[in-house]
Amino acid sequence: MINMGINTMYTKEGARILIVDDEPINLKLLDKILSAQGYNNLVLLQDSRKVLDTYRQQRADLILLDINMPYLDGFDVLEQLKALDDPLFPPVVILTAQNSQDFLLRALNAGARDFITKPFDRNELLARVRNMLDAYLAHRLVFEQKDVLDEIVQTRTNELRRTRLQVVQRLGRAAEYRDNETGNHILRMSHISALLAKSIGWNEADCELMLHASPMHDIGKIGIPDHILLKPGKLDPEEWEIMKTHATIGANILEGDDSDLMRCASEIALTHHEKWDGSGYPYGLSGEAIPLTGRIAALADVFDALTSERPYKKAWTVESAVDLIKESRGTHFDPELVAVFLQQLPEILNIRDRFSEPESEGNPS
Ligand SMILES: [Fe+2]
Ligand SMILES: [Fe+2]
């Protein structure tokens, strides 16, 4: 692991220059010339075996590298550094007394960017160092800004997902309030739906979709007249027909957008009252003709509705709700989903506890 050691100084003077030369006199000379020019972040190394560790601890913005050194020569050092695969690898300038074409070509191929021939010419040295740093620091700035931008995009994306979830949950909650249902019903119902999806092997993204889309299952109730929706007694057949239209109204509200979320939400709104044996509504679909999203939502919705207290009924006990679900295996509900539901019952009860109604605490359930 390389310590990127991002320093906030982008001035050339603050740039870290690693100078490697086995001759102390050369190090001293380079130090003197560069310091006099204002470069104040010089790291001098006489032992080429220490380059790799030094670089790992604190990367450099420029490396001036001697070639002829004991233990590890400049080519060996270059090879070690290149193997780090640092995306921000700094330019390496070779310090050499040789200037044969073969030698220079070999150094270039090994990854060197430029040369300074010994003995050093002060002006040439400063010009090369300045040019290298100008180019490298500009490159580094762009690179680091890209990281910052990536992070901003990630944060914004997360924020957007969070807001979207909030909006859909609150939209669902609005519909539930109109229906005198409790706000937490949609939280429990959507988490149970996502759990069932996960338990039948759906991937994480699809489970998340289920979690975000199912809260809107009853959104169509906002299109049902109050005298029906809020009627305390039993609905007569005509009123019941109108009540049933909440499924298509919901689908109409949600359809028309091609995002996965809206497509899934619309499908659930439309099909969450279909029954496995074909006796549901609005289309009387049966078996696997009912989208799996609708089958899952139906089971989660009914279980939570049964075990919740409503103005017109007491909460059922978990036991009796489970009995009803078992009895409805293959009539109302997809039998395979019922099996998964029963396996996951402890986790489903955890969800109930997590999102319990404060005012209903102590009620038999
Ligand atoms: Fe419904
Ligand atoms: Fe519901």
pLDDT tens track for 16-70: 999 999 999 999 999 999 999 999 999 999 999 999 999 999 889 999 999 999 9
Give distance in angstroms: CA of 168 to centre of ligand 2: 14
Give distance in angstroms: CA of 243 to centre of ligand 1: 9
Give distance in angstroms: CA of 203 to centre of ligand 1: 26
The number of the ligand nearest the C-alpha atom of 247 reads 1
% of the chain residues with pLDDT over 90: 65
Q: What is the mean pLDDT of the chain?
A: 89
Please, are residues 106 and 74 in contact by the beta-carbon 8 Å criterion? no
Q: Which amino acid is at 359?
A: E
Distance CA 169, CA 261 (A): 13
Distance CA 78, CA 80 (A): 5
Residue 362: pLDDT over 50: no
Q: What is the DSSP string of 75-135?
A: HHHHHHHHTT--TTPPPEEEEES---HHHHHHHHHTT--EEEESSPPHHHHHHHHHHHHHH
The number of the ligand nearest the C-alpha atom of 180 reads 2
Residue 292, token pair as written in the block = 């799996």
For 187-202, b/e burial (b = at least 16 CB within 10 A) is bbbbbbbbbbbbbeeb
Give distance in angstroms: CA of 205 to centre of ligand 2: 23
pLDDT value at position 205?
94
pLDDT bucket at 346, cuts 50 / 70 / 90:
very high
- From 1, 144, 174, 117, select the one nearest 61 (Cα to Cα): 144
Give distance in angstroms: CA of 94 to centre of ligand 2: 73
Element (H, E) at 66: strand 62-66
Rounded to the nearest angstrom, the gap between the alpha carbon of residue 80 and the centroid of all alpha carbons in its chain is 35
Distance CA 274, CA 270 (A): 8
Please, are residues 69 and 21 in contact by the beta-carbon 8 Å criterion? yes
At residue 2, φ and ψ (nearest 5 deg) are -95, 135
Distance CA 322, CA 126 (A): 82
Task: Decide which of 101 and 5 is more confident.
Answer: 101
Please, are residues 43 and 54 in contact by the beta-carbon 8 Å criterion? yes
At residue 254, φ and ψ (nearest 5 deg) are -95, -20
The number of the ligand nearest the C-alpha atom of 305 reads 2
| Tens digit of each residue's pLDDT (9 = 90 or more) over 125-183 | 999 999 999 999 999 888 888 888 999 999 999 998 888 878 877 877 777 777 656 66
Give distance in angstroms: CA of 208 to centre of ligand 1: 21
Three-state secondary-structure class, residue 300: helix
The number of the ligand nearest the C-alpha atom of 218 reads 1
Give distance in angstroms: CA of 139 to centre of ligand 2: 56
How much is the average pLDDT of 189-206? 97
User: Do the bridges between strand 17-20 and strand 62-66 make them parallel or antiparallel, or are there none, so unpaired?
Assistant: parallel
Give distance in angstroms: CA of 205 to centre of ligand 1: 25
pLDDT value at position 361?
43
Give distance in angstroms: CA of 292 to centre of ligand 1: 16
Q: What is the DSSP string of 146-194?
A: HHHHHHHHHHHHHHHHHHHHHHHHHHHHHHHHHTT--HHHHHHHHHHHH
Of the chain, the end-to-end C-alpha distance in Å amounts to 55
Distance CA 151, CA 183 (A): 35
Please, are residues 195 and 344 in contact by the beta-carbon 8 Å criterion? yes
